[in-house]
Amino acid sequence: MWLLVGFTALLGAVNLVGMDVKSVSSVPYSTALEDAMKVASLHDDWEVMRAAGVSMNPFYNGDSIIILDRSKFSELSAGMIVIYTDREGELVGHTIIRRSDQGWIAKGLNNDVEDPVLVTEDNYVGTLFGVFNTSGALKDPSLLAAIGADRMHIVIGKEY
């Protein structure tokens, strides 16, 4: 089974930390990817991406597939999980915790410190709309290529 989370549910995502929630399921990676692609095809602004890292456990991890919504920067509010490009050019998916004069301050759920980069209109990519947890990511590059996952963007729950 997969879990699909809309914007209103994302506002409470930070509260998942204290709960006994695991980002695993019995669904094979290829099946979850197929399901995510079907859901993303329902809206022009949705894109399927692979997840990596551990800073957003239990919400998502390297065995998860996510759907990005290319929503407007002006629609952001504290508690949402956003995807932005950091200084190294990597896509990072973290929770925005508050707004400053220069942009949004983000932080991974398991990180002790805030992200060193602000989320601004220039580096903002979108918000996390859905998470599809799996029984385990495909490690074999040929299998990733066979299902088209090797061409997907990777969003990192980055540790700072």
pLDDT averages per 10-residue partition of the chain, 160 residues: 36 40 77 92 95 92 94 97 97 98 97 97 97 84 76 92
Is 42 a member of any domain?
yes
* Per-residue pLDDT tens over the stretch 110-132: 999 999 999 999 999 999 999 99
CATH code, domain carrying 95: 2.10.109.10
Is 97 a member of any domain?
yes
Q: How distant is the alpha carbon of residue 46 from its chain centre?
A: 12
pLDDT value for 21: 54
Is 1 a member of any domain?
no
Is 98 a member of any domain?
yes
Number of structural domains (the chain) is: 1
Is 141 a member of any domain?
yes
Domain that holds residue 97: 7-157
Which tokens belong to 142? Answer: 């040929």
